[in-house]
Every structure is written in C-alpha cells, then in structure tokens.
Amino acid sequence: MKRNLVFSFYIFDGWENNFANRVHLAYLKKYHSVFDTAVFIVVCDDVSNVELISGFEKKIVDIGFNNVEFRVRKNTVLREAEHFYKELVGHLGEFEGSVMWAHNKGVSNIYFEREWLFNWLSFMYIGTAGLISDCEKKMFENYYGGEKYFYGAPLIKGEGFGISNMYGGGFFVMNPQSILRSLAKSGKELPKLSNRSYAEELPGSLFGFDRLGSYRDAYIFGNYADFYSYTDPDWEDAERIVFNGITEKIEEVKGNIWQELNT
C-alpha cells in the first residue's frame, strides 16, 4: 500500500533554530522511511529568497527524504489551510493509497513551555506516522464497509461542546479514494476553502465520528480539547487514554527524541 506525505512547512530567517521546527525535523528524520513519496510545500514570505529555500530543501534531503518534491508557495493569511486545500484536497483523485497531511504546527508559539509544545507535537507524529500499520488496518482491511477515512491523534469528539469532530493540531492520515467514493455515493461535495481552520474542520464536516479513526478508536471529549491550557499531568492523562497499552513504547520514542533535542 503506497504511503504519501504532504507537508506544509513555513520557513523564515533562522527557521532551523526555532524549537518547534527542531522537533518537527527530529520526528521527520525518525519517520521518513515510513513514506514512499513526499511533497513538501515550502511556504515563505519572500519566494525569491533562493538561499533560504535551497537551505530548507537540502535539510529535508539530508534527514532522509529522497523521493521528494518541493513546491514553493507564498505565505498568506490562510497559512497552511490554503495549501491543504489547493495542493491536497483539490487533487485527492491523483493519490494512490494513504496520504498523511501535516504542517509545522507550533512554529509561532514561542512563548509556551518547550515541554508542552513537545508533548503536543509528539502526540501528533506518533499518532499518525508512528502508528501507520494500525492506521492501514482500519482504512484498508475492513471487510464490511466500516473502514475509517481519516486517522490520527489527538482525536476530539466534539458533539455538544460547540466544536466539530476533529484532530487537534491538524495532523491526520487520509484515504482519498474511499473519501471520494463515499462523497460520490452520497452526492456531497468537498467544501470550499473558507478559513484558517479548514484542514482541522474537514474530517468532521464530511463524515460522522464513525469514519474518524485513531489507535483503539480512543478520543478526547470536546470539553478537554483546549490543549493550550494543558499541564504536564494533563498530557500524561491524555497519553494514558489515547495510547493505552503502548504507553511504554510511546515514552521510549519521546525520550529518545527529547534526548536528541537536548544534546
């Protein structure tokens, strides 16, 4: 089964020293071999800055991505949502297998605790690329029509809490062909780009909660979805809920990445 990565990465002078970006690069280095193909949408304010762009592209190749395509795009007020819509949603029919969507979440959150940001980013990477085999079972191995169309973590069940069902932070894996088949059958259309939260809102706007997957189908209720206010104990509780049964493995992965970031 072909595995594709589409990643929107915003860069700027000194981007490689930003803590969030260092976390992203560490996890991308760890999981690069998971993917058969990768598209990096290189987003910047000045698309003529060849030195900045080529430096980023070299870094991505250096950490292990070989079968990779780079597309340079100008940053806009819609940020990663615009690239999700134009580069992925608008081309779903062109993908075979699964597609993981990601972006360099947290790059602007310079005032938050490093450990807090690390926990959230770890959740998203481990809950997608780190569990890709479980993801594929739920997407492609179901015999009875109950397959998942999206997969990721942290999965939020939002009914009754004023928010949509969604993946907190906007990382997830998609099954494009099943999505398109289902939409054609129901007569629904993909929504037009409307705001910055388009990517996060898309899964829940298209399908019910039964089509949104995660490890053990575990989720967090919407009233616990304000991850910006989470403390270390909150992240520990969330980890026990979402990754129950594999928390030792999760902690080992996180510990290795954290050590790499601090040496």
Tell me the pLDDT tens digit for each residue of 34-47.
Answer: 999 999 999 999 99
pLDDT of residue 67: 96
* 3-state SS class at 13: coil
pLDDT of residue 163: 74
pLDDT of residue 161: 65
pLDDT of residue 164: 83
The Cα 231–Cα 219 span in angstroms is 18
The Cα 120–Cα 169 span in angstroms is 8
pLDDT of residue 144: 79
Burial of 192 (0-12, 13-18, 19+ CB in 10 A): exposed
Per-residue pLDDT tens over the stretch 8-31: 999 999 999 999 999 999 999 999
Contact status, residue 214 vs residue 152, Cβ threshold 8 Å: yes
pLDDT of residue 112: 79
Regions of the chain with pLDDT less than 70: 143, 160-162
